[in-house]
Amino acid sequence: MKALLLENIHANGVRLLTERGFEVETVKGALSEDDLIAALRGVDVLGIRSNTQLTPRVLAEADRLQAVGAFCIGTNQIALDEATKHGVAVFNAPYSNTRSVVELAIGEIISLARHLTDHNAKMHAGEWVKSAVGSHEIRGRTLGLVGYGNIGSQLSVVAESLGMRVLFYDLVDRLALGNAERCDSLEELLSKAETISLHVDGRPDNRGFFGAEQFAQMRPRSLFLNLSRGFVVDTTALKAALDAGHIAGAAVDVFETEPKRNGQQFENPLRGTPNVILTPHVAGSTEEAQQNIGSFVAGKLADYVDSGSTVLSVNLPPVQAQRGSERRITHLHRNVPGVLASINTVLAGYGTNIVGQTLATKGQVGYVVLDIAGDLDPAAVDALRAMPETIRVEVH
């Protein structure tokens, strides 16, 4: 089995896949579409981060690809519908770097409230300006979280422990942790909070949802953070709000257009703006987070190839069946009535003894894991692949 890992995947991931029997090739940066297509020939497992674009064309050309691991939180760089269409399982790391993002957000809130970036720049320029004007404690101030998922909810807990009041707004009905208070609308949140931090996902509907109208609704001299997705914020509108003094400071870690490799020129309207912290998409990039992500995602990829486990897959139905025999068949298919009966009829026709069977469905697809006792006629597998509902069949 061959694995291709791009974008400096942590050594933990390389080591785990190697120990599980994979021949692993690593590439430091992202690849262009044409280069990625060429590199994927004969590859069973692909590992990427946020800069690699897994397009429908790439997925259509990948002749052996079984699974993709996004060694990060987001999967908007992957054409998920096409991956499912081609029977490619997709995994990510929804929890492994949560703490790293939260700690950076807390550090940035304090830095912005105390104007540390401005003080630092003046000191490096040899200018001594000791003043408390415009500097504030974060204790007693109100933090507004747009999005209350894994990161937003943990940031809520840490911020509250530092004495902040926490409000949140989310389209999903989330359980409030600690003393956090839910707002009924985004407008309500923006009107009440003194610091706004975005923690939304990368779905297309979120593109450009935070712009001039939303900045105008924020309280005067508020702080703004975006550590979620670059395309959700109108950067030009943010720049205008900062220049007008309506927004007192901002921290941005993600950008709609980001350099593909280290050392490339970074261009953005926010460059040079006072009391603005710009970081190169490193909110989750700590040694601890990358170690955890490397082990977690590589383990999910190896488990899928070895046993067909799809627990925490982004696009396939979740199935975790304990290995019950030496032979296992996994069958991904269109979710239509009668498929399971057809599978059993095919296998029975070849005298196959099924000792364990698990089925799960998700949207338009279904996934069956079958444990087999005794011999498995290759013709039976060919017959399963020939079923009109079949998307992919693997023998583990």
Residue 261, pLDDT score:
78
Residue 85, pLDDT score:
96
- Whether the model pTM is above 0.85: no
Structure tokens at 10: 């942590």
- CA of residue 27 relative to chain centroid, distance: 20
Report the percent of the chain where pLDDT is more than 90.
89
Q: Are 379 and 350 in contact (CB under 8 A)?
A: yes
Q: Are 49 and 11 in contact (CB under 8 A)?
A: no
Residue 324, pLDDT score:
63
Structure tokens at 364: 């338009």
Whether residue 18 is predicted with pLDDT greater than 70 in this model: the reply is yes
Instruction: Report the chain's C-alpha Rg in angstroms.
Output: 25
Whether residue 26 is predicted with pLDDT greater than 80 in this model: the reply is yes
Residue 323, pLDDT score:
67
Residues 135-170 have pLDDT tens digits of: 999 999 999 999 999 999 999 999 999 999 999 999
Domain residue spans of the chain: 1-97+287-314, 98-278, 321-396
> Do the two domains 1-97+287-314 and 98-278 of this chain adopt the same fold?
yes
Residues 290-317 have pLDDT tens digits of: 999 999 999 999 999 999 999 999 999 9
Going by pLDDT thresholds of 50, 70 and 90, the confidence category of residue 391 is very high
Positions annotated as catalytic residues are 229, 258, 281
CATH top-level class of 321-396: alpha beta
Residue 106, pLDDT score:
98
Whether residue 366 is predicted with pLDDT greater than 80 in this model: the reply is yes
> What are the CA-CA distances from residue 307 to residues 323, 325, 372 (Å)?
7, 10, 13
Rounded to whole angstroms, how far apart are CA atoms 204 and 211? 16
CATH architecture of 98-278: 3-Layer(aba) Sandwich (3.40)
Whether residue 119 is predicted with pLDDT greater than 90 in this model: the reply is yes
Beta-carbon contacts of 268 under 8 Å, excluding residues fewer than 6 positions away, are: 235, 255, 257, 278
CATH fold for the domain made of 1-97+287-314: Rossmann fold (3.40.50)
Nearest of 259, 343, 362, 298 to residue 9 by alpha carbon: 298
Beta-carbon contacts of 337 under 8 Å, excluding residues fewer than 6 positions away, are: none
pLDDT, mean over the chain: 95
Residues 186-227 have pLDDT tens digits of: 999 999 999 999 999 888 889 999 999 999 999 999 999 999
Going by pLDDT thresholds of 50, 70 and 90, the confidence category of residue 36 is very high
